[in-house]
Amino acid sequence: MYVAVKGGEAAIANAHRLLADRRRGDRAVPALRLDQIVEQLALGVDRVMSEGSLYDRELAALAVVQARGDMIEAIFLVRAYRTTLPRFGYTNPVDTGTMQVERRISATYKDLPGGQVLGPTFDYTHRLLDPELAAGAEVETPAQRPVEPEAMPRVSAILAHEGLIEADGDMPLDHVPGDITREPLQFPMARDIRLQALSRGDEGFLLALGYSTQRGYARNHPFVGEIRIGEVELELDVPELPFAVPLGSIRVTECQMVNQFKGSAKAPPQFTRGYGLVFGQSERKAMAMALCDRALRAGELGEDVVAAAQDEEFVISHSDNVQATGFVEHLKLPHYVDFQAELGLVRRMRAEYEARENEDRPEQKREAAE
Amino acid sequence: MRGQEAREQAGRKALMATLAHAEADEIARLWNEAGLPSEAELLRGPETGLVTVRGRIGGGGAPFNVGEATVTRATVRLPSGQVGHSYALGRDQDKARLAAIADALWQDPAQREAVEAKLAAPLRAALDAARETRRVETAATKVDFFTMVRGED
């Protein structure tokens, strides 16, 4: 017999009211403004934009505060919002070579056109908590160095001259980039679709997988060929104008990972590449993405698939934290009927088991005695 | 004629780029100071939607979809007949409306100079200055390598 039950409306309404109160916290403390979050928790906002797969700082800041700082909840909110908007089109591909660079480093070349530019980095800090920051001390204005502008070609373009590194990833000319927001995931998938999934993938998950490749699971000897962070211009082709309309610029992080490769039946010894491109200043994520991209190219490069990071279906199916949290968290919703059914089943199995035990025991005793 | 048409398009595109980068408050302030007309019929929007941002594999290879961004657009028609469009990242609908009017005014030979001098030029100067500040601040973090000479000569 199936008995439907209702209830909980008042409890749910009051729980949400309580949530709003706890979110606001002590009324004696000033409420956060979105511009404070955008300006001062900028990298948290960037993570929400990157994994929420929606570039809009103010919306990401709103999501952060609404989610009480729970990043995955904030990412969920942003993903839900973007489904409510119409789509105007696909931009022309961004040109990271013309980026207004705010940081650019290479671990493979010391002297390269444009140089090593550190930008606003945590690198080389001592990771000591700063009590002055807690006291709200004023900060210095940045140093300036008025020099002539210098072009900063991508390191991959410099390396390409020697022929020892593979080219940027090409696809057949008639290939239309796949879009996981339009079509369901299908395995095996082309590299362009994998990159879209990785770009919105969970930073922690991709970081752990990237780390696993360094520790020997799908080892592939990576170097950071280049990381660059900065603003790139967006342009959109629209039917009403005879030129691509400029939309403004967005900040992105790009990572070119370069991997030693001893060759296989499919490809000669050379440096192969993994690529990362993510919204905002998200260097760790871009690096993890590049490591995973390279590991997932195992089949294409004729490598044995021996580790989790090389398993496309495993990595891509589990990289989306909104899907992951949805399925894990659904376990806390009422499963009363399912559980009643399982309880009945386990009771019956236990009774059968005990009946068998009681039948078997006298014989076992006799056998032991003989 | 072709050259002139190309220059015309480049000028219009440059104005649209400037407006897309500018803050709404700044556009409105300069608009009022310049006394530009803001009467126009809205033909479309302002409406907010998404564009899917594309990158290229390896930086220069085949295109792939990175993620989406909010964009707001508007289309207006001036009483004198010119139709103007605007597109810009973000969700500012007032900005979209003003930017579309600016695009329409720019196409009116009688208004172009005022739009360029009183709106585009100061916006461009402010954007260039901000960009330059950012550039020289970044340049100050460039590493100058030097070689340590070891041993005796």
Give yes or no: residues A282 and A169 share one domain: yes
* Chain A neighbors of B49, CB-CB under 8 A: 85-88
Give yes or no: residues A199 and A270 share one domain: yes
* Cβ distance of A234 and B61 shorter than 8 Å: no
Mean pLDDT over all residues of chain B? 93
| Burial category of A349 from C-beta neighbours within 10 Å (exposed 0-12, middle 13-18, buried 19 and up) | exposed
Query: Structure tokens of A355?
Result: 């009946």
Q: Is residue A90 included in any domain, yes or no? A: no
A67 vs A61: CA distance, rounded Å: 10
Instruction: Give the pLDDT band (50/70/90) at residue A171.
Output: confident
Give yes or no: residues A76 and A154 share one domain: no
Mean per-residue pLDDT, A78-106: 96
Q: Is residue A163 included in any domain, yes or no? A: yes
Which of A24, A53, A82 terminates a domain? The answer is: A82
pLDDT at A4: 65
Q: Using omega within 30 degrees of 0 as the cis cutoff, is the peptide bond preceding B46 cis? A: yes
Coil, helix or strand for A232?
Answer: strand
Angle at which helices A283-295 and A191-199 pack, to 10 degrees? 150
Concatenated DSSP letters for A265-291? SSS-SEEEEEEEEEESS-HHHHHHHHH
Give yes or no: residues A101 and A78 share one domain: no
Instruction: Give the pLDDT band (50/70/90) at residue A361.
Output: confident
pLDDT at B148: 74
Residue window 78-117, chain B: list those with CB within 8 Å of chain A. 85, 87-91
Q: CB of B146 within 8 Å of any CB in chain A?
A: no
Mean per-residue pLDDT, A104-116: 90
Q: Judge contact between A221 and A233, C-beta under 8 A.
A: no
Q: CB of A154 within 8 Å of any CB in chain B?
A: yes
pLDDT at A196: 98
Mean per-residue pLDDT, A218-241: 93
Q: Is residue A189 included in any domain, yes or no? A: yes
Q: Is residue A340 included in any domain, yes or no? A: no
**Among A192, A195, A119, A196, residue whose Cα is nearest residue A152:** A119
The least confident of A24-38, A166-180, B65-79 is A166-180
Q: CB of A256 within 8 Å of any CB in chain B?
A: yes
**pLDDT digits 0-9 by tens, A112-160:** 888 999 999 999 999 999 999 999 889 999 999 998 988 888 888 777 7
A203 vs A288: CA distance, rounded Å: 8
Q: CB of B73 within 8 Å of any CB in chain A?
A: yes
B77 vs B79: CA distance, rounded Å: 7
The distance of A68 to chain B (nearest Cα, Å) reads: 23
pTM for the predicted model, two decimal places? 0.92
Give yes or no: residues A171 and A314 share one domain: yes
The distance of A131 to chain B (nearest Cα, Å) reads: 25
A321 vs B119: CA distance, rounded Å: 45
Q: Judge contact between B66 and A277, C-beta under 8 A.
A: yes
Q: CB of A203 within 8 Å of any CB in chain B?
A: no
Structural domains of chain A, count: 2
* Chain B neighbors of A56, CB-CB under 8 A: 69-70, 90-91
**Where along chain B do its domains lie?**
2-139
* Cβ distance of A119 and B141 shorter than 8 Å: yes
pLDDT at A367: 59
Q: How many CB atoms lie within 10 A of CB A195?
A: 29
Cα–Cα–Cα angle for A171, A174, A178, rounded to 5 degrees: 65
pLDDT at B150: 73
Coil, helix or strand for A150?
Answer: coil
Give yes or no: residues A296 and A319 share one domain: yes
ipTM above 0.90, yes or no: yes
pLDDT at A368: 57
Give yes or no: residues A279 and A174 share one domain: yes
pLDDT top residue among A153 and B101: B101
Give yes or no: residues A319 and A173 share one domain: yes
**pLDDT over 70, % of chain A:** 96
* H or E segment to which residue A107 belongs: none
Residue window 33-52, chain B: list those with CB within 8 Å of chain A. 47-52
* pLDDT exceeds cutoff 90 at A164: no
Give yes or no: residues A59 and A101 share one domain: no
Cα–Cα–Cα angle for A352, A354, A358, rounded to 5 degrees: 120
Q: Is residue A350 included in any domain, yes or no? A: no
A221 vs A215: CA distance, rounded Å: 10
Q: Is residue A364 included in any domain, yes or no? A: no
Query: Structure tokens of B66?
Result: 């990175």
A181 vs A106: CA distance, rounded Å: 33
pLDDT at A363: 60
**pLDDT digits 0-9 by tens, B80-98:** 999 999 999 999 999 999 9
Give yes or no: residues A175 and A54 share one domain: no
A191 vs A197: CA distance, rounded Å: 10
Give yes or no: residues A169 and A284 share one domain: yes
A168 vs A155: CA distance, rounded Å: 12
- Provide the domain limits for residue A305: 96-120+150-326
**pLDDT digits 0-9 by tens, B112-136:** 999 999 999 999 999 999 999 999 9
Q: Are strands B63-77 and B83-89 parallel, antiparallel or unpaired?
A: antiparallel
Query: Structure tokens of A119?
Result: 């930008």
